[in-house]
């Protein structure tokens, strides 16, 4: 049976380390978040980020807007935050209801882009240069590293869209892993590392998984009030060597690695 990778436990260790680093800083770094509209999931995610910041003593600034706010007003706020040295991290909670997300994200100073979505950071990451990577990609990598398995020369398949896969492909390449983004889940059988982020419950079944593979389930879908992933755990668990649960896997790691990015942005000033 697969070893279940406990994202909550790993995230707790990371948060404790970030708290120590923040306490040792001469100036406390701030995180600013722009939240638009009334989407319940977005409000939940922002609340989790705020709680995590409070836990490690990072001041959290929340800027809420109605769903019909203009793109220009959001850009103006981002520019104001860019100019404030104590605000080392800025993120826009996505998706936006109707505004141009690319324009708003592009307005963020890349050095303050703690979500890692700015094109300058994505391109730097692909070129092997220092950059802020998306917190979810860093969380996935941290869980893969928790397996203590040798990675060099291994093959990874990422079942997702290109935007999600792009930074992961770069991070995996740094560790000698050849990774490809595959929208078709039938291509997963030969993957030593399988990462799934589609949002289709039970998409990946045991017959799609290479025996002994590391399986990272990023998908989250709410069904009858319960959060489920993209992996059919009953059939995959007997085949894989390692498996992340949903919930309790990548989710807590994403919030923890966001804190890591805030600290990294502060230290690089």
Binding residues: 220
Identify whether 115 is a catalytic site residue: yes
Please pick, among 93, 99, 113, 210, the residue that the annotation labels catalytic: 93
Cα 86 from chain centre:
24
CA-CA-CA-CA torsion sign (203, 201, 179, 182): positive
Q: Which residues are annotated as a binding site for NADP(+)?
A: 220
Active site residue 17: no
Q: Is 51 a catalytic residue?
A: no
Catalytic residue among 113, 115, 192, 217: 115
d(CA 171, CA 29): 26
Q: State the catalytic residue, choosing from 49, 111, 142, 210.
A: 49
In the Cβ-directed half-sphere of 244, how many Cα atoms lie within 13 Å? Answer: 36
E strand spans, the chain:
3-4, 30-36, 60-65, 87-92, 155-159, 178-181, 193-196, 214-217, 221-223, 226-228, 242-243
Q: Please give the positions annotated as active site.
A: 49, 93, 115
């Amino acid at each position: 049976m697969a070893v279940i990778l406990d994202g909550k436990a790993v995230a707790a260790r990371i948060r404790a380390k970030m708290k120590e680093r923040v306490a040792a800083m001469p100036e406390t770094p701030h995180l600013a978040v722009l939240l638009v509209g009334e989407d319940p999931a977005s409000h939940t995610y922002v609340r989790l980020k705020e709680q995590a910041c409070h836990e490690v003593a990072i001041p959290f600034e929340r800027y809420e807007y109605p769903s019909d706010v203009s793109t220009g007003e959001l850009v103006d706020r981002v520019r104001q935050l860019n100019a404030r040295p104590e605000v080392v991290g800025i993120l826009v909670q996505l998706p936006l209801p109707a505004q141009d997300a690319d324009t708003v994200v592009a307005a963020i100073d890349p050095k303050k882009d703690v979500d890692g979505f700015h094109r300058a950071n994505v391109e730097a990451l692909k070129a092997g240069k220092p950059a802020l990577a998306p917190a979810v990609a860093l969380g996935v990598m941290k869980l893969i590293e928790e397996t203590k398995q040798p990675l060099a020369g291994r093959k990874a398949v990422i079942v997702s869209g290109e935007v999600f896969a792009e930074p992961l492909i770069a991070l995996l390449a740094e560790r000698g892993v050849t990774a490809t983004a595959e929208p078709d889940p039938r291509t997963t059988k030969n993957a030593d590392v399988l990462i799934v982020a589609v949002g289709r419950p039970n998409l990946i079944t045991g017959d799609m998984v290479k025996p002994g593979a590391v399986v990272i389930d990023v998908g989250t879908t709410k069904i009858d009030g319960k959060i489920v992933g993209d992996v059919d755990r009953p059939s995959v668990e007997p085949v894989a060597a390692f498996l992340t649960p949903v919930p309790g896997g990548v989710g807590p790691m994403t919030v923890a690695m966001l804190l890591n990015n805030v600290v990294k942005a502060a230290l690089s000033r």
